[in-house]
Amino acid sequence: DVVRLAPLVGLGLVAIMYLSFRDARVVLVSVVNLAVAFVWTAGLMGWLGIPFSALNLTIIPLILGVGIDYGIQMISEYLDHKEQGLSDTEAFRAAGGLGGMAMLLATLTTIGGLALMVISPSLLMAQLAIVANIALTVCFVFALTMIPALLVLTNRKGLRRRPEPGSRAIVALCTWLGGHRLIVAVFLLVVTGVALSSASNLQTEAFGNPELNYPKGDRVRDDSEAINDLFFGGSSDTVSNYLIVEGDLTRPEAHRFLDRLTANLESDPVLHGFNTASLTRVVRAWVAINQGTPDAIISQIVGRVPDDTVQQVQYPKTQSEIRATFDDIFAGPFANFMTILLDPRSADGRGYSMGMVPFDTRQGLSYEEAARVWNATEAAIAKTQAEVPVSGVQVHQFGNNAVSYLFIKEELPWVNRVGLASYLLVTAMIAVLTRSWRATLAIALVMGLSSLWWLATLPPLGIGLSVGLMLPLVFISAIGSDNALHLVWNLERLPDWRRVYRYVGKAVTIALATDAIAFAIFALQTDLLVRKTMLATVASVTTLWVVTILVVPILYPPPRVSPPAN
């Protein structure tokens, strides 16, 4: 999907930037800036030992979004000042004091907000915060260094270029909004009330069966349904769960624990676990073969073993016998299968200290179903620990169901708390750095209303809260203020507000439009969860632009006529 869609994203960005600026040089500079920013970010990740994961792969669209935003803002400032007759040096000096300072403030506030995520209970979330801060810093540094250098190097002297007109439409829209502030304020209140009602319908989502995230006709979906038809009578609500068992798995007590655990999973009246597998069953199959009963191997592995067959198997009784049996298994053809259930390696060098017990359940895609399976599994584990108290092992749930449950139960409340703390921190930083109540109020309103309005758009789109929403959450909570801050910073320091809306307003619109187009194209991916994530991000970017355009002119109304130039 990435290989298929990335060229389309590139073409979309190039097209909208060319149509906006009508200058191939602007497109070239922006593309080079994005490419170098990505290489630097990936290189710093490698230097810090942070791998690409399913979560921090979101830095790719993050770099696209922020890199494009910063680049467009700096280029727009430069073209605006060149239009005023300034030299390159003078134009960049002015752009640095306006757009550059706005980007510095935006970067500082964003990094400050994301820094709170470093203490997340999730390692992946903490790594995402570090990677996102690296990407933001790299994009900011290159916007102030490489973009000016490339613009000057590609500017052939004596070549007459089309004047940069700005956006008359943005000026007209903001002038009307600023002239009808009471109507706009009432509109904001009404929409906010509707958003509160819609956001109350927001549901939580679990992963369920990940193969069902693919459309019919896709190999992943077809294979899953074929397996369900063959083994489960066409049931599509089968979810695979996994228990990670840690401890010395050569102890006989640990093996008694595993036998009781699988029995409790299968007999639990709420869980109804099936297709359970355990390393003790592989051991019995191995012993059965050695004792001359090879027909018992399949029944031993899947757990359907007659009582008389179990009694005939001479299971290893001592720790040394169990270790020797493990050694024999890993030296033969059973090793491939046994590796799924038992890790022959460990940090102490002795091995056999981590195993897995997979089992299947039938459950829906709701969070309530994930919670039901989680709680029933914990009860089965606790029951087994009471029955075999000296097993010396610890058991942890793993898999899609566990991730879904823990994200909603533990991570999402933490994200909400950090989001609130980030909101207060960013607002306080803007108040200190701008020393303007009007600028602080504008940014605070943009962030607050954007968050609420965005949540309200999710239920109509059929999107619920899940781990897949981390990218748009980052956009709203940390990066949402950037474009509004760029606009407000210029309004605070320039007397001609109409000109600010004409050029900076255009830059903000183009920046958010390129973000929306990039994520809309990435929303064509096959995986339904990823598709929902990208659609939610498009909704967040669109909401940010709408709220910015509505809120800022109320506090900074442009005059109907531009003031005379000084």
In 3D, which of 202, 247, 265 has the Cα closest to residue 455?
202
Q: Are 501 and 558 in contact, with CB atoms under 8 Å apart?
A: yes
pLDDT at 4: 81
pLDDT at 161: 57
CA distance 494 to 496: 6
Q: Give tens-digit pLDDT for 98-147.
A: 778 878 877 777 777 677 677 766 677 777 778 778 888 888 888 888 88
pTM confidence score: 0.74
pLDDT at 233: 64
Q: Are 457 and 539 in contact, with CB atoms under 8 Å apart?
A: yes
CA distance 494 to 295: 86
Q: Give the chain's largest Cα–Cα span.
A: 101
Long-range contacts of the stretch 342-349 (C-beta < 8 A, 24+): 342/249, 342/279
Q: Walk along the chain (566 residues) and give the pLDDT tens digit of each residue.
A: 777 887 887 787 788 777 777 777 878 888 888 888 888 888 888 888 877 766 666 666 667 666 777 777 788 778 777 777 888 888 888 888 877 887 887 777 777 767 767 776 667 777 777 877 888 888 888 888 888 888 888 876 644 455 667 788 999 999 999 999 999 999 999 999 999 988 888 877 766 566 767 777 888 778 877 877 776 666 667 788 899 999 999 999 999 999 999 999 999 999 888 888 888 888 888 887 776 665 555 554 444 444 444 455 678 888 889 888 888 888 888 888 888 899 887 655 567 889 999 998 888 777 888 899 999 999 999 999 999 988 889 999 988 888 888 878 877 777 777 777 777 877 887 888 788 899 899 988 998 898 889 889 988 888 877 766 765 666 565 566 777 888 888 888 888 888 889 888 888 888 788 888 888 887 887 777 778 888 888 888 889 899 999 999 999 998 876 655 55
Residue 396: enclosing H or E segment and its boundaries?
Answer: strand 393-398
CA distance 378 to 4: 43
Pairing of the two strands 342-343 and 354-362: antiparallel
Q: Are 357 and 262 in contact, with CB atoms under 8 Å apart?
A: yes
Distances (CA, A) of 176 to 170, 439, 553, 557: 10, 20, 9, 9
pLDDT at 290: 76
Q: Are 400 and 239 in contact, with CB atoms under 8 Å apart?
A: yes
Q: Are 125 and 50 in contact, with CB atoms under 8 Å apart?
A: no
DSSP 51: P
